């Protein structure tokens, strides 16, 4: 009897460690977009795609980045900076070569199909969070996308919901949900493997992972593999350009921190509305 109990306890510990590792890997660079409000001397707002499911470094792939550093409150820098240094090496020397190799051999149509498949699986997460936020129509749109793309779209490999029915992707997460109820961002954090986040994002992360459908299928091994593939695949486009993005940057930690915080602050202020861009020469451009 003692041996049976010990074996069960050992198996439970294995599952717990595995689930924790999966949580880290699938959240790779995908921390929620939020940041402290006390940013001083903001000199420029830059154009950027408004996609809530992008990772923290992905915000730099389609637009100019901030060229000046602002004074930003970073009380946990003594913890954040060593973790960032570890992540920086991990990304550049392991994940960047992998991402470049993947892009070199994977045809674009197949890659897009894989992206559509995983995006479709995340629709229930957005639907639940929109429901908790009181956004009933947006929750219904998430469920409509799930139904259409899972059937007509061949298990999510295609996106007829967007192309045929004009029901566009509308992602959200638990961080946005608890923000709706007055929960602040908390201190800026850098997490191992995950990257930039904050206290609210860290608290919200387990809920979003638990709500993901892959965590509720019978085959635990297959679910684990798919979740890891999903987390890495989402970040391949930016990981392939990671060293190029930071080329010539004197202080990588501050550059990424400021870029992340300013991008999330801009997302909060503008939401999904068109951006009005004002540069130092007071030139206006609408996107």
In a domain, 4, yes or no: no
Q: In the numeric block, which tokens belong to residue 184?
A: 């602040």
Asked if residue 65 is part of any domain, the answer here is yes
Q: Whole-angstrom Cα distance, residue 124 to residue 126?
A: 5
In angstroms, rounded to a whole number, what is the distance separating the alpha carbons of residues 239 and 12? 34
Q: Is residue 19 part of a domain?
A: no
Check residue 253 and give its pLDDT.
95
Q: pTM for the full model? A: 0.69
Domain that holds residue 116: 37-286
Tens digit of each residue's pLDDT (9 = 90 or more) over 14-69: 444 445 444 444 444 443 333 344 444 444 333 333 444 445 554 444 444 444 44
- How many domains does the chain fold into? 1
Rounded distance between C-alpha atoms, residue 4 and residue 209, angstroms: 31
pLDDT in tens, 164-184: 999 999 999 999 999 999 998
For residue 17, being part of any structural domain is answered with no
Residue 31 in contact with residue 191, Cβ under 8 Å? Answer: yes
pLDDT value at 200 more than 60? yes
Q: Report the C-alpha gap between 165 and 40 in whole angstroms.
A: 44
Residue 11 domain-assigned? no
* CA separation for the pair 53, 33 (Å, rounded): 9
Looking at residue 29, its pLDDT comes to 40
pLDDT of 189: 94
Per the CB < 8 A criterion, the answer to whether 91 and 242 are in contact is yes
Q: What are the residue ranges of helices labelled H in 27-95?
A: 77-90
Whether 121 is covered by a domain: the verdict is yes
Does residue 25 lie in a domain region? no
3-state secondary structure of 15: helix
| Contacts of residue 103, Cβ cutoff 8 Å, sequence gap at least 6 | 111, 236, 237, 240
On whether residue 20 sits in a domain, the answer given is: no
* Per-residue pLDDT tens over the stretch 108-148: 999 999 999 999 999 999 999 999 999 999 999 999 999 99
């Amino acid at each position: 009897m003692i041996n049976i109990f010990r074996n069960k306890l050992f198996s439970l510990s294995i599952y717990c460690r595995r689930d924790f590792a999966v949580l880290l890997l699938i959240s790779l660079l995908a921390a929620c977009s939020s940041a402290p409000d006390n940013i001083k001397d903001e000199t420029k707002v830059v154009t950027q795609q408004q996609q809530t499911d992008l990772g923290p470094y992905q915000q730099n792939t389609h637009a100019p980045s901030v060229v000046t550093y602002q004074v930003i409150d970073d009380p946990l820098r003594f913890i954040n900076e060593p973790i960032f240094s570890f992540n920086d090496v991990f990304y550049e020397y392991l994940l960047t070569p992998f991402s470049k190799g993947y892009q070199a051999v994977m045809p674009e149509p197949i890659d897009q199909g894989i992206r559509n498949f995983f995006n479709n699986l995340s629709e229930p997460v957005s639907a639940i969070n929109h429901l908790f936020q009181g956004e009933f129509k947006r929750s219904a749109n998430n469920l409509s996308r799930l139904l259409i793309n899972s059937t007509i779209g061949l298990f999510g490999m295609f996106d007829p919901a967007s192309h045929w029915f004009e029901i566009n992707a509308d992602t959200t997460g638990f961080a946005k949900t608890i923000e709706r109820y007055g929960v602040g961002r908390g201190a800026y954090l850098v997490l191992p493997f995950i990257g930039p986040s904050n206290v609210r994002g860290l608290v919200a992360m387990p809920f979003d992972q638990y709500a993901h459908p892959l965590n509720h299928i019978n085959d635990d091994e297959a679910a684990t593999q798919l979740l890891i593939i999903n987390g890495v695949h989402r970040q391949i486009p930016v990981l392939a350009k990671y060293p190029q993005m930071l080329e010539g940057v004197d202080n990588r930690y501050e550059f990424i921190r400021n870029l992340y915080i300013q991008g999330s602050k801009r997302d909060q202020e503008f939401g999904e509305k068109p951006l009005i861009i004002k540069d130092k020469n007071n030139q206006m451009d609408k996107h």
